[in-house]
Amino acid sequence: MTPSRPWWMTALAIACLVTIAATFGGDLFVPEARDTEVWFGLELKGTPALLTAPLHYAIFAVGAWAFWTMRPWALTAGAGYLFYAALSHLVWSEASPHGRGWQIGLVQAAVVAAAAVLLLRARRRLPG
- Per-residue tens of pLDDT for the chain, all 128 residues: 346 889 999 999 999 999 999 999 988 888 878 888 999 999 999 899 889 999 999 999 999 999 999 998 999 999 999 999 999 999 999 999 888 899 999 999 999 999 999 999 998 888 66
Return the ∠ at Cα 51 (arms to 49 and 57), rounded to 5°.
90
CB-CB neighbours of 72 under 10 Å? 9
For residue 46, the SS3 value is coil
Question: Which amino acid makes up residue 47?
Answer: T
Find how far residue 32's CA is from the centre of its chain. Answer: 20
Identify the pLDDT of residue 79: 97
User: Domain map of the chain by residue range?
Assistant: 7-122
Identify the pLDDT of residue 1: 36
| Predicted structure pTM score | 0.88
Identify the pLDDT of residue 3: 62
The H-or-E segment that residue 42 falls in is: strand 42-45
